[in-house]
Amino acid sequence: PQVIFSGIQPTGVPHLGNYLGALRQWVKLQNEAPPNATILYSIVDLHAITIRQDPVQLRQWRREMLASLLSVGLDPKRSIIFYQSDVAAHSELMWILSCYASVGYLSRMTQWKSKLALPENTSPLDPSTKTKLKLGLFSYPVLQAADILVHRATHVPVGADQSQHLEFARECANSFNHNFQHVLVPPETILSPAKRVMSLTRPHLKMSKSHEDPKSRILITDSREEISRKINSALTDSVAGVTYDPLNRPGVSNLIHIMYHLDETIADSCEALAGDCRDLSLRAFKERVIDAVDEQLKSVRIKYEELMQPNNDHLLSDISDEGSRKASANANATMSLVRGALGL
Ligand code: ATP
Ligand code: MG
């Protein structure tokens, strides 16, 4: 039977990139998976501390993330929703995998370089890098592999920025299985059609929760006014009319990409949508994008505000308690196989 797993860091309220690239897919899989499938979605707080976090802020973000996941349509009756740090087996399997993971492979990963704003060809052993680069940020993909493998996930829905890490997780599973018994399951990546949503202010970078400029992203809880302000100030260009050309017109193309993927029934492709909007001024085009975003996020925003009311504290903690109970049981079953295989 299928096991679907994915995770999101509690590093802020999810943005349109998280929504289109991951969360909407999570909900779709939840609603369409066969009844015998196991579905797990984790708020990966141990990943969040690979960069510095304020404890009060982190606690708040964990809760906001749980409310966000419920607001977009995850149903705790169907999906196991839990905080990663509640399930110790994730960290335990990480240690075991890290005894087999190659430093060479990890040093070719690009995420730690982009989080530290280092150039592509940086080595972890460069003198200026060595002190800045913490072990946890470097071994982030090993924890991520453990998250997936400890649940013996068969399918992992993520955005394009995670493809490399998924490849690494498969490699971890295969090498473990090769050395021991066939205990772990190499997972399949599920990429959403909206693979990569770009930043509104720097459209050559992906939209991120942790980027310093709040105007670079639209949060799924933003009001119409905030949506309007951010899209109106999104970086575009001075070319007349609307065309889809990600290479030469990254800003405009990103807005088309967003509008198309919010509702894929409005056109056949990004190119076709750009054709429909060809004669609009950029100002008028942006108004359409604002309407489309607001229309899709309205109900999410209302649900979120409701869930964040203090009287819903218990509801949220009951959901995460039950989630961690179920996730622990699932993970512990794998861990006894792993320990047995290793001779522990
Ligand atoms: P952070 O900046 O803290 O890393 P993030 O915005 O990258 O935050 P994550 O929690 O790292 O979000 O990732 C959660 C999921 O969202 C992953 O599946 C990731 O691939 C997806 N995702 C993140 N950013 C984008 C984006 N810009 N476009 C599409 N998918 C994205
Ligand atoms: Mg990220």
Query: Domains in the chain and their CATH numbers?
Result: 3-101+139-197+312-342 (3.40.50.620), 221-306 (1.10.240.10)
- Atom in ligand 1 nearest the alpha carbon of residue 158: 18
Atom of ligand 1 nearest to the CA of 206: 27
156-183 as b/e: b if 16+ CB within 10 A: bbbbebbeebbebbbbbbeebeeebeeb
Which atom belonging to ligand 1 lies closest to the Cα atom of 9? 10
CA distances from 86 to 59, 141, 214, 319 (A): 13, 19, 30, 13
Per-residue confidence (pLDDT) for residue 120, from 0 to 100? 87
- With a pLDDT cut of 90, the percent of the chain lying above it is 96
Distance CA 119, CA 16 (A): 27
The tens digit of pLDDT for each residue in 203-259 reads 999 999 999 999 999 999 999 999 999 999 999 999 999 999 999 999 999 999 999
User: 161: CA distance to ligand 1 center in Å?
Assistant: 7
Q: Alpha carbon 143 to chain centroid distance?
A: 15
Residue 325, pLDDT score: 98
> How much distance in Å is there from the Cα of 191 to the middle of ligand 2?
15
Catalytic residue list contains 115: yes
Q: Whose CA is nearest to atom 23 of ligand 1?
A: 18
Distance of CA 278 to the CA centre of its chain: 32
pLDDT digits (tens, 9 = 90+) for 244-297: 999 999 999 999 999 999 999 999 999 999 999 999 999 999 999 999 999 999
What is the distance in A from the centroid of ligand 2 to the CA of 208?
6
Contact yes or no for 187/169 (Cβ under 8 A): yes
The finding on whether 10 has its CB within 6 A of some atom of ligand 1 is: no
Q: Give the pLDDT confidence of 60-106 residue by residue, as tens digits.
A: 999 999 999 999 999 999 999 999 999 999 999 999 999 999 999 99
Question: What's the chain's length in residues?
Answer: 344
Write phi, then psi, for 179 (nearest 5 degrees).
-80, -30
**Does ligand 1 have an atom closer than 6 angstroms to the CB of 22?**
yes
- Residue 25 confidence class, pLDDT cut points 50, 70, 90: very high
Residue 156 Cβ contacting ligand 1 at under 6 Å = no
Q: Looking at the predicted structure, is the pLDDT value of residue 128 above 90? A: no
From 13, 18, 144, the mutation candidate for ligand 1 (largest count of ligand atoms within 8 A of CB) is: 18
Ligand 1 contacts CB of residue 14 (under 6 A): no
Q: Is the CB of 159 under 6 A from ligand 1?
A: yes
Residue 209 designated active-site: yes
Question: Of 26, 43, 18, 32, whose CA–CA distance to 194 is shortest?
Answer: 18
- Active-site entry in 206, 230, 286, 326: 206
Q: Is the CB of 58 under 6 A from ligand 1?
A: no
Q: What is the pLDDT of residues 35-54, one digit of tens each?
A: 999 999 999 999 999 999 99
Q: Is residue 131 very low, low, confident or very high in pLDDT (cuts 50, 70, 90)?
A: confident
Q: Is 103 exposed, middle or buried (0-12, 13-18, 19+ CB in 10 A)?
A: exposed
* Distance of CA 153 from the midpoint of ligand 1 (Å): 20
Interface predicted TM-score (ipTM) of this complex, two decimals: 0.99
Ligand 1: centre distance to CA 76 (Å): 22
Contacts of 55 (CB under 8 A, 6+ apart): none
pLDDT at 130 over 90: no
Mutation probe of ligand 1 site: the residue of 115, 161, 165 with most atoms within 8 A of C-beta: 161
DSSP state of 317: H
- Burial call 219-248: b when 16+ CB within 10 Å, e when fewer: bbbbeeeebbebbeebbbeeeeebbbebee
Ligand 2 center to residue 159 CA distance, Å?
9
